């Protein structure tokens, strides 16, 4: 490549046209003839004749053989003039004849030399044309530059690669600003080239990035050499450029891939070792660790492994794991990759190893420490065995429902509950369950499943009847939970159990019948007692009309008071006779508060609600609990103006708060507030409220502030409430 900025040492030349040649030759011929006439007229016969050499040489050089006639004319003209002016002086005439022949001889000699020069020039021109053709038709960028970077030759490949035509760059050195538009990069490149050329006169394999005419960029590999210099001829350089853009991009891609794979190798979580097999007497003897990644050192705890034999790194490996070495040798010999798990006793760990041979005599081992996984698998297997035994002992049937497809996997016990085998029910699906379930129970089951799918309940639970193989209906407790959701929050897979609760249902029915009979007996007895108390009260009132002893009067008054208390307590037992008799149901708190507010005379006391539109599982007497709380607030609140009810979730529980702005509960009464018989009325209201709630695991506490108001907190356990609304 040229070096822009170096001075141009060439001399200027004057182009010679045919007219200029004729004018030059004619001028010198006339001067020679006039000078001859002048000198001979003055009697001078020497020196002037040498001036004839100028037009003679010019004629011979320019016209070669055609110039011989002009040379003869000049020689004869010289003889004629000498004969005219020096006739009779035979010595002068003899010299003139001799000089005429010399003129002709010199002309012939110059003609000969000119002919040879022309032939040499034509041969040289032909050679140059061949060279130029080679340059122009070469498949690589070829150009010839002078010392200042001026372009003297610019071939077709240079045009094709750069996009700049020869006419745009020939004789100029501005092309470098276009090829290297970045000033700093251009200065760096030209300075580097100049230093190399000044030192070595050539430049090899220099890569530069050029900007083509279409603004695209290409990578060119340059080789430049200084052409041989003849005499004082100016310096010239031939530059050869090869477009290596594609190969450079490929090399860059390979480099990036190598870097990427190196990063992958170094950052893999699995250990990787690249090793060479070592043989002794034609048999496998050991292997050499060539390279390992960071995970290898982290997983094994081994350091400085590359370059060492495995028997040196892990002494005793031949004795402890001979099967491992045999496997590695087999992979190298056959070229077939293998994967296996091994108890690697030297490092006290279990490994999962994948081995393949990238080339003959070498292998790559990729391993993972699976010690913890193996422990977990063993623990899981034991747990599964224990679970299987527990399930088998409990008589629970299992089902696994793929919600979107309707496919269901049942275990054999599930079918046995209904008196079937799985083979008898095949093919099984969700339709199998629908077909066995009692039609009256399906709507409730579907509603509870939908509630669970909408994440309004932590799990699904429903008691339903299914038809036994013998035709009777049996009760099962159907429980399940979604174990897999899709990206849109829809259920994918749900698993659950079936438990035969027919015996329990029979017992419950028997207890319900017994309670019904006991309640009937209690009602009759209570009715008889009330009648007897009414008669007793009548007699006591009649006794007031008689004059009796004051002491006896006192006893009669006490008897009347006791009778009144007995009457109230008997009436109270009528109200609460069904506590715990009827099974718990899901009840809406908002509806209960509304019903209680309507049944009591609230006066000016307003009721406020926040987040009470929830369901809780409680005894049917739940309404009595809220009735007691509201009634106590109205009776003993004194300055009460409002009762506020609210609900909030706390750590998977629901807390219902009933509070007022009355006088509250005194610190003295708080410890005994829920005791049986404590209170200003019957003494059973809060005690029985606590018992009603406890039936389904619900607790109640009072933590209000005396003088500010009473505050009752009802805590519902997880699974005992639903956040769904009435709507």
What DSSP designation does 42 have? T
* Residue 364 confidence (pLDDT): 92
Q: CATH 1.10.3720.10: does it fit domain 138-249? A: no
Of 574 and 417, which is predicted with more confidence? 417
What mean pLDDT do residues 290-316 have?
Answer: 87
pLDDT in tens, 254-271: 888 778 777 777 777 888
Instruction: Calculate what percentage of the chain has a pLDDT beyond 90.
Output: 15
Helices and strands in the chain: count of H runs, count of E runs: 23, 24
Using the predicted structure, report yes or no on whether residue 4 has a pLDDT greater than 50: no
**Residues β-bridged to residue 144:** 153, 238
Mean pLDDT (the chain) is 83
Using the predicted structure, report yes or no on whether residue 7 has a pLDDT greater than 60: no
Using the predicted structure, report yes or no on whether residue 645 has a pLDDT greater than 90: yes
What tokens does 89 get? 């002086």
Of 320 and 14, which is predicted with more confidence? 320
The model's pTM: 0.38
What mean pLDDT do residues 156-182 have?
Answer: 89
Using the predicted structure, report yes or no on whether residue 376 has a pLDDT greater than 60: yes
Separation in Å, CA 164 to CA 180, 583, 666: 13, 98, 104
CA 615 distance to own-chain centroid: 44
What mean pLDDT do residues 669-673 have?
Answer: 82
Kindly write down the DSSP assignment for every residue of 223-267, as one continuous string. Answer: EEEEPP--TTPPPEEEEEEEE-HHHHHHHHHHHHHHHHHHHHHHH
What mean pLDDT do residues 313-325 have?
Answer: 84
pLDDT in tens, 611-625: 888 898 988 888 888
Lowest mean pLDDT among 35-39, 494-498, 592-596: 35-39
Domain ranges of the chain: 18-132, 138-249, 268-374, 395-500, 507-575, 585-722
CATH for 585-722 (3.40.50.620, 3.30.565.10, 3.40.430.10, 3.30.420.240): 3.30.565.10
HSE at residue 622, side-chain half, CA atoms within 13 A, is: 28
Using the predicted structure, report yes or no on whether residue 108 has a pLDDT greater than 80: yes
Q: Is 517 helix (H, G, I), strand (E, B) or coil?
A: helix
pLDDT in tens, 324-370: 888 888 999 898 999 988 888 888 888 889 999 998 889 999 988 88
Using the predicted structure, report yes or no on whether residue 393 has a pLDDT greater than 70: no
Tokens 């994440």 -> residue: 455
Q: CATH 3.40.50.280: does it fit domain 268-374? A: no
| 268-374 against 395-500: fold identical | yes
**Residues β-bridged to residue 287:** 277
**Quick one: which of 116, 118, 111, 117 has its CA closest to 69?**
111
* Residue 200 confidence (pLDDT): 61
What tokens does 623 get? 């309404």
Is omega for the bond preceding 427 within 30 degrees of 0, making it cis? Answer: yes
Report the run of H or E that residue 540 belongs to, with start and end. helix 502-543
**pLDDT band at residue 313 using 50, 70 and 90 as cut-offs:** confident
Residue 451 to residue 402: CA distance in whole angstroms: 18
Lowest mean pLDDT among 246-250, 328-332, 673-677, 686-690: 673-677
Q: How many residues does the chain have?
A: 727
* Residue 3 confidence (pLDDT): 44
Its CATH class, for the domain covering 395-500, is alpha beta
Q: Is 317 helix (H, G, I), strand (E, B) or coil?
A: helix
* Residue 5 confidence (pLDDT): 42
Residues 6+ apart with CB under 8 A from 592: 622, 623, 626
Residue 495 to residue 157: CA distance in whole angstroms: 75
* Residue 480 confidence (pLDDT): 92
Using the predicted structure, report yes or no on whether residue 575 has a pLDDT greater than 60: no
* Residue 9 confidence (pLDDT): 45
- Sheet with 271-280, strands from edge to edge, namely 308-309, 283-292, 271-280, 362-369, 349-356, 338-344
pLDDT in tens, 691-713: 888 888 899 998 888 888 899 99
* Residue 165 confidence (pLDDT): 92
**pLDDT band at residue 401 using 50, 70 and 90 as cut-offs:** very high
- 628 phi, psi to nearest 5 deg: -65, -45
Given a contact cutoff of 8 angstroms between Cβ atoms, the answer to whether 609 and 718 are in contact is no
pLDDT in tens, 292-304: 888 888 888 888 8
pLDDT in tens, 429-475: 888 889 899 999 999 999 999 999 998 888 899 999 999 999 999 99
HSE at residue 37, side-chain half, CA atoms within 13 A, is: 6
Instruction: Calculate what percentage of the chain has a pLDDT beyond 70.
Output: 88
**Quick one: which of 662, 584, 668, 653 has its CA closest to 629?**
662
pLDDT in tens, 718-727: 888 887 554 3
Of 6 and 387, which is predicted with more confidence? 387
Tokens 């040289």 -> residue: 124
pLDDT in tens, 193-242: 777 667 666 778 888 899 999 999 999 888 888 887 766 778 888 888 88
Lowest mean pLDDT among 65-79, 157-171, 294-308, 670-684: 670-684
- Count CB neighbours of 127 within 10 A: 10
Backbone Cα Rg of the chain: 61
HSE at residue 46, side-chain half, CA atoms within 13 A, is: 1
Tokens 């009759």 -> residue: 524
What mean pLDDT do residues 107-127 have?
Answer: 84
């Amino acid at each position: 490549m040229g070096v822009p900025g170096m001075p141009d040492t060439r001399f200027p030349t004057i182009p010679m046209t045919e007219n200029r040649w004729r004018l030059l030759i004619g001028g010198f011929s006339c001067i020679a003839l006039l000078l001859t006439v002048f000198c001979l007229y003055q009697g001078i016969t020497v020196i002037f004749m040498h001036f004839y050499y100028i037009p003679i040489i010019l004629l011979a050089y320019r016209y070669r053989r055609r110039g011989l006639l002009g040379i003869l004319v000049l020689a004869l003209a010289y003889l004629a003039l000498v004969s005219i002016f020096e006739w009779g002086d035979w010595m002068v005439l003899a010299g003139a004849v001799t000089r005429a022949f010399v003129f002709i001889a010199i002309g012939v000699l110059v003609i000969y030399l000119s002919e040879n020069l022309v032939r040499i020039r034509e041969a040289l021109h032909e050679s140059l044309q061949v060279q130029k053709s080679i340059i122009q038709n070469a498949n690589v960028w070829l150009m010839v530059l002078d010392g200042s970077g001026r372009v003297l030759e610019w071939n077709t490949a240079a045009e094709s690669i750069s996009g700049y035509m020869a006419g745009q760059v020939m004789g100029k050195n501005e092309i470098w600003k276009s090829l290297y538009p970045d000033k700093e990069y251009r200065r760096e490149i030209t300075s580097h080239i100049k230093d190399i050329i000044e030192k070595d006169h050539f430049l090899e394999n220099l890569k530069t990035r050029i900007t083509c005419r279409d603004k695209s960029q290409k990578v060119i590999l340059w080789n430049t050499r200084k052409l041989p210099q003849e005499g004082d001829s100016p310096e010239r350089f031939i530059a050869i450029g090869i477009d290596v853009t594609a190969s450079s991009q490929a090399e860059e891609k390979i480099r990036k891939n190598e870097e990427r794979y190196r990063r992958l190798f170094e950052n893999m979580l699995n250990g990787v070792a690249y090793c060479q097999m070592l043989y002794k007497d034609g048999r496998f003897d050991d292997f050499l660790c060539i390279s390992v990644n960071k995970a290898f050192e982290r997983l094994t705890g081994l350091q400085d492994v590359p370059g060492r034999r495995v028997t040196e790194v892990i002494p005793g490996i031949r004795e402890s794991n001979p099967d491992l070495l045999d496997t590695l040798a087999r992979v190298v010999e056959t070229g077939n990759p293998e994967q296996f798990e091994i108890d690697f006793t030297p490092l006290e760990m279990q490994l999962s190893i994948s081995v393949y041979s990238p080339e003959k005599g070498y292998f790559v081992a990729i391993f993972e420490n699976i010690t913890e996984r193996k422990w977990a698998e063993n623990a899981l297997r034991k747990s599964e065995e224990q679970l299987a035994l527990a399930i088998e002992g409990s008589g629970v049937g299992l089902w696994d429902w793929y919600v979107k497809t309707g496919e269901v996997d049942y275990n054999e016990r599930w079918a046995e509950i209904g008196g079937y085998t799985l083979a008898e029910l095949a093919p099984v699906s969700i339709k199998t369950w629908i077909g066995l379930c009692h039609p009256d129970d399906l709507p409730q089951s579907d509603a509870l499943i939908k509630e669970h799918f909408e994440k309004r309940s932590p799990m699904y639970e429903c008691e339903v009847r299914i038809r036994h193989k013998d035709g009777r209906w049996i009760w099962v407790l159907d429980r399940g939970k979604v174990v897999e959701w899709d990206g849109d929050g829809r259920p994918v897979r749900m698993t659950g159990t079936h438990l035969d609760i027919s015996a329990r249902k029979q017992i419950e029915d028997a207890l319900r019948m017994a309670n019904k009979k006991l309640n009937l007996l209690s009602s009759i007895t209570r009715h008889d007692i009330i009648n007897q108390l009414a008669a007793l009260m009548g007699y006591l009132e009649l006794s007031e009309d008689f004059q009796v002893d004051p002491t006896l009067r006192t006893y009669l008054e006490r008897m009347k008071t006791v009778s009144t208390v007995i009457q109230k307590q008997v009436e109270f037992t009528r109200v609460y006779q069904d506590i715990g008799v009827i099974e718990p149901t899901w009840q809406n708190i908002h509806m209960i508060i509304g019903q209680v507010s309507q049944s009591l005379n609230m006066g000016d006391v307003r009721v406020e609600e926040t987040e009470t539109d929830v369901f809780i599982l409680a005894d049917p007497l739940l309404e009595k609990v809220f009735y007691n709380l509201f009634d106590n607030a109205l009776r003993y609140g004194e300055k009460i103006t409002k009762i506020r009810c609210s609900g909030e979730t706390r750590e998977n529980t629901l807390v219902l708060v009933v509070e007022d702005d009355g006088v509250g509960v005194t610190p003295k009464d708080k410890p005994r507030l829920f005791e049986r018989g404590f209170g200003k009325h019957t003494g059973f209201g809060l005690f029985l409220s606590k018992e009603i709630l406890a039936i389904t695991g619900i607790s109640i506490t009072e933590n209000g502030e005396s003088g500010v108001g009473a505050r009752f907190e009802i805590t519902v356990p997880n699974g005992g409430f639903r956040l769904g609304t009435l709507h």
